[in-house]
């Protein structure tokens, strides 16, 4: 999809730019691989269960709906308020930046158009910052 022919964040344009469900699944797989690899992300990895199967599915399903595709998270788990769902965790600026680093490196690996990569990271920064604001840290 040519970025001149679509506007990110409108309808399912972002979902399509991300490669639909298969592309989002790959992004999430790369993200969790980064989380398991980077020294900076050890603290956030420790906030997750040893088996990441459910975490991977939840993030994939959330991103599907968040990017304008099928609302799979709501269909399988109900509604979610991302900041409040993370309130019980100790997430400060360092943890937020580590999460964003893992996601940035995962986004960088995808075959997305450069403007979409920038847009996506700008959008992901918003919930990451909101989680810090409500965190139990």
Each residue's pLDDT tens digit, 51-107? 999 999 999 999 999 999 999 999 999 988 887 888 888 898 999 999 999 999 999
CB 82 within 8 A of CB 134: no
Q: What is the 3-state secondary structure (H, E, C) of the chain?
A: CCHHHCCCCCCCHHHHHCCHHHHHHHHHHHHHHHHHHCHHHHHHHCCCCCCCHHHHHHHHHHHHHHCCCCCHHHHHHCCCCHHHHCCCCCCCHHHHHHHHHHHHHHHHHCCCCHHHHHHHHHHHHHHHHHHHHHCCC
Distances from the Cα of 34 to the Cαs of 6, 83, 86, in angstroms?
A: 30, 22, 20
CA dihedral 106, 109, 114, 118 (to 10 degrees): 10
pLDDT at 137 (0 to 100): 55
Does the pLDDT at position 12 exceed 70? yes
Burial class of residue 95, CB neighbours in 10 A (0-12, 13-18, 19+): buried
Confidence check: pLDDT of 2 > 50: no
């Amino acid at each position: 999809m040519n970025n001149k022919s679509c506007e990110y964040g409108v309808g399912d344009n972002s979902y399509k730019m991300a490669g639909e469900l298969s592309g989002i699944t790959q992004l999430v797989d790369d993200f969790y691989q980064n989380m398991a690899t980077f020294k900076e992300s050890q603290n956030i990895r420790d906030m997750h269960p040893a088996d990441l199967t459910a975490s991977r599915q939840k993030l994939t399903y959330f991103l599907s709906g968040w990017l304008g595709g099928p609302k799979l998270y709501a269909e399988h788990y109900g509604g979610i308020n991302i900041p409040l769902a993370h309130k019980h965790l100790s997430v400060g600026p360092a943890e937020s930046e580590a999460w964003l680093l893992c996601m940035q490196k995962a986004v960088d690996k995808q075959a997305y158009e450069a403007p979409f990569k920038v847009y996506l990271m700008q959008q992901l920064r918003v919930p990451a910052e909101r989680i810090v604001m409500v965190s139990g840290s």
